[in-house]
Amino acid sequence: MRSNLGFFSDEKFRSIFFQTLVIGLFALGIFFIVNTTAYNLEKRNIATGWSFLQNPAGFDISFSPFLEFKSTDTHLKVYFVGVLNTLLVSITGCIAATILGFLLGIIRLSSNWLLSRLVYIYVEFSRNVPLLLQIILWYSILIQLPRVKQSLQFLDVFYISNRGLYSPRPIFESGFSYVLIAIVLALVSSFLINRWAKKRQDKTGQQFPVFFSSIGLIFVVPLILFFILGSPMSFEHPELKGFNFKGGLVIRPEFIAMFLALSIYTAAFISEIVRAGIMSVSKGQREASAAIGLKQTWIMRLIIIPQALRVIVPPLTSQYLNLTKNSSLGIAVGYADLVHGFGGISLNQTGQAIECMVIVMATYLTISLTISFFMNIYNRSIQFKEK
Amino acid sequence: MNEMNQVRKPPVATTGIIGWLRINLFFNWTNSLITLFVIYCLYQFIPWILDWTIFSADFKYNYLGEQITNQEMCSRNLDPENGGACWAVIYVRFYQFIYGFYPKVEVWRVNIAYAMLALALLPLLFAKLPYRKYFLYFTYIFPVIAYFLLNGGLGFTEVSTNKWGGLLVTLVLGCTGIALAFPIGIMLALGRRSKLPVISMMCTLFIEFIRGVPLITLLFFGMVMLPLFLPEGIDMDGLVRVLVAVTLFQSAYMAEVIRGGLQAIPPGQYEAAKSLGMSYWRMNLLIVLPQAIRISIPPIVNTSIGLFKDTTLVIIVGILDLLGIGRGTLADTNWLGLSYEIYFFVSLVFFIFTFGMSRYSLYLEKKLKTGINMGAD
């Protein structure tokens, strides 16, 4: 009996047998799905292929700050507008959430009981209420703002109404490119100065005022150049004409709602990560650095934060990924991101569900992988290096 | 001489209420300023919010004593100076919030299902429950009972799922998603750690794909693509399609959590099991998984909280969960403009569930820690 099964109890044979079986079943499943799908598509008269990308979209997109969009533009352009909008809200959201999250995480550890309790209540509320609900809530607050005619004014140039935030739009004239070049050069050189100063400090112990010299390079030099060139930038102010503002820069309430909800929701998670990170640095580190006479702010900057970052960065990465994926909820308030514009309206107009969904999913996968890739590089750079 | 006689002041108190206040609220002058500022803000905010939510709010009747049946009768719409929140909308639409459009005659079935759900959760929540074994048997057969009870069949009249809504849908999605994702997640986690390259690669690809795309795209996949994949004649119910998407999504996250638990099991456990001649499945089922799942319960609860919140996304594909009923009510001209009341109520319901779950996971973590320490001692 046993000898008959001999080759089956051989581990190598079994492993090959099962893997071939799995591949076979998988291929069979794919074959079955492709067949039925082809049949279903034909029966429902749904076109296939990618040619629909070149067809005119036939609908307008209300928020497209980077590309001019007309309803005669193609579905491919809808896709690009969607990607840009997704990236816009994700990147601004990640930056705001990081700043707010770090601040709140540090406040949460403050010795002031009242303050830390307050942050705790905020964290619990914003973590435990669904994000979608928060987005919709922010949106409903924003569209209940006064109408355009009664819009709130700030400094006589910003107008807030239920149509969004209107601000002056900067118009760049020909000479402005020199200022931009100056800013880029200043950034590069302050980065190089930072590296040089670190090396010099490691060697000689002398310090160089990196912070002030960088500020000088990045802000003051381009500013002087700006005035020398005769201020090659002007502002176009929004003006009330009829029922709406004309001109100026418009930030739509959909974007503001998404931005606020995403950053406030994610900041709550980040603040907990930061708190855990700071608490993971042992008390002895703080005491030792106080004992050698470091200032309170230096202890935080030079001793605590670098060690805490090692604990903070991996979960922070997954928060960035979550925020980016959560930006797809813009569809609930009509924010024209990838899912709403391309995966929603284009899909409904063309009926080519499979193509649209494949593109949308592939794009999100690409964005997710890119974020993980860069955060992994950063993570490796801050990890403890044995010398 | 005089100096010698001078009485020194006692040191400042560090205990008692005064000491506590000094240390925690008025440690130095910046701290005191912050405290005073926060107290001032709270003083401005708390009376206002209490007034709006409770003292000048309408619960069933407006300030004229009439029973409220639409938004025009809310005190704050009759007299903008005096009115607070108008909770009457929740009172009037309470049935829909809890049961959706489930027929009133059959609603006892939902009530029994709710009660049975609580009973089925008992043995999972409390490890020291007396007769836990028998309760667990009930937990295992509960999904079957609940299916027939809610959906119909076995003598019950059929109630199609498009009549379900509100908390019912939220709980059905949340509980089914978590319950189905658990075994699938275990299989995926084992698969990813498998020595067979094909299986491990397929599981890894599946997990990373699901985790790389937003849930909403999976819901769209379930809604618009799944029907195309199935042969003619198989018509999937909308709720089932959403459930498929939610389960796929949750099982990928569950798999990663359980994989974390599996990685924490020392290799000695595997080796010991193998040296006793156990097969792969016996080793995993009897030795490895029980330990791995035990340590990954807190993160499992945490991902479950995430899923419970994410069930709200189904409103985007047209299924009316708690939030969906709230939005539907807002679209009704009778209750136009009561968004704050409705969103407040929906948030509160979600908060109660999720906060409860997160407290439970903290409690488990604490218990687990002490348990491990006791083992080590």
Give me the helices (H) in chain B, please.
2-5, 16-24, 29-50, 75-78, 88-92, 94-99, 107-125, 132-151, 167-192, 197-212, 215-220, 226-229, 238-263, 267-275, 280-282, 289-295, 297-310, 322-331, 339-376
What residues in B contact A365, CB-CB < 8 Å?
A: 209, 212-213
User: Per-residue pLDDT tens for B286-337?
Assistant: 988 988 888 888 888 889 999 999 999 999 888 888 999 998 888 888 888 8
* CATH for B92-102+159-267+295-376, options being 3.40.50.2300, 3.30.1360.30, 1.10.3720.10, 3.40.50.880: 1.10.3720.10
May I ask the CATH architecture of the domain A38-133+262-387?
Answer: Orthogonal Bundle (1.10)
> Which 358-377 residues of chain A touch chain B by CB within 8 A?
360-361, 364-365, 368-369
The residue in chain B having the minimum alpha-carbon distance to the alpha carbon of residue A13 is: B196
Query: Which residue's entry shows tokens 């176009």?
Result: A236
Positive or negative torsion for Cα A61, A67, A68, A71: negative
The letter for the amino acid at A293 is G
Query: In chain B, which residues fall in CATH 1.10.3720.10?
Result: 92-102+159-267+295-376
What residues in B contact A328, CB-CB < 8 Å?
A: 214, 216-217
Q: How far apart are CA B183 and CA B143, in angstroms?
A: 15
Judging by beta carbons within 10 Å of its beta carbon (0-12, 13-18, 19+), is residue B350 exposed, middle or buried?
buried
Q: Determine contact: B372 vs chain A, CB below 8 A.
A: no
Q: Average model confidence (pLDDT) for chain B?
A: 84
Mutate to test the interface with A, among B220, B249, B344 (most CBs of A within 10 A): B220
* Residue B348 pLDDT greater than 90, yes or no: yes
Q: Domain coordinates of chain A in residue numbers?
A: 38-133+262-387
What is the count of residue pairs from A and B with beta carbons less than 8 Å apart? 144
Residue A7 has what pLDDT? 66
Structure pTM?
0.86
Task: Give the nearest partner residue to A365 out of B213, B316, B351, using CB atoms.
Answer: B213
The phi-psi region of residue B15 (left if phi > 0; otherwise alpha if psi is between -120 and 50; otherwise beta) is beta
Give the rounded percent of residues in chain A with a pLDDT score beyond 70: 96
Q: Determine contact: A311 vs chain B, CB below 8 A.
A: no
Phi, psi angles (nearest 5°) of residue B321: -85, -165
User: Per-residue pLDDT tens for B219-263?
Assistant: 988 888 888 888 777 777 888 889 999 999 999 999 999 998 888
What residues in A contact B27, CB-CB < 8 Å?
A: 111-112
Query: Which residue's entry shows tokens 């994989």?
Result: B259
What residues in A contact B38, CB-CB < 8 Å?
A: 112, 114-115, 118
Residue A42 has what pLDDT? 82
Taking an 8 Å cut-off on Cβ atoms, the answer to whether A133 and B347 are in contact is yes
Q: Determine contact: A97 vs chain B, CB below 8 A.
A: no
CA distances from B260 to A360, B201, B253, B256, B295 (A): 30, 18, 11, 6, 9
What residues in B contact A39, CB-CB < 8 Å?
A: 231-232
pLDDT range class, residue A5, cuts 50, 70, 90: low
Q: How far apart are CA A247 and CA B230, in angstroms?
A: 51
Q: Determine contact: B39 vs chain A, CB below 8 A.
A: yes
- Token pair, residue A137, equals 């809530």
**Separation in Å, CA of A378 to nearest CA in chain B:** 20
This model of the complex carries an ipTM of 0.87
Taking an 8 Å cut-off on Cβ atoms, the answer to whether A111 and B343 are in contact is no
B61: CB partners within 8 A, 6+ apart: B67, B68, B88
User: Per-residue pLDDT tens for B139-197?
Assistant: 888 888 888 888 877 777 777 788 888 899 999 999 999 989 999 999 999 999 888 88
Residue B374 has what pLDDT? 40
Q: Which of B177, B169, B176 is nearest to B99 (CA)?
A: B169
What residues in A contact B225, CB-CB < 8 Å?
A: 353-354, 357
Taking an 8 Å cut-off on Cβ atoms, the answer to whether A112 and B195 are in contact is no
What residues in A contact B350, CB-CB < 8 Å?
A: 128-130, 133
Query: Which residue's entry shows tokens 């860069």?
Result: A374
Taking an 8 Å cut-off on Cβ atoms, the answer to whether B315 and A132 are in contact is yes
Q: Which of A98, A100, A120, A99 is nearest to A109 (CA)?
A: A120
Q: Determine contact: B313 vs chain A, CB below 8 A.
A: yes
Q: Which of B97, B19, B84 is nearest to B57 (CA)?
A: B84
Q: Determine contact: A136 vs chain B, CB below 8 A.
A: yes
Q: Is A143 helix (H, G, I), strand (E, B) or coil?
A: coil
Q: Determine contact: B217 vs chain A, CB below 8 A.
A: yes
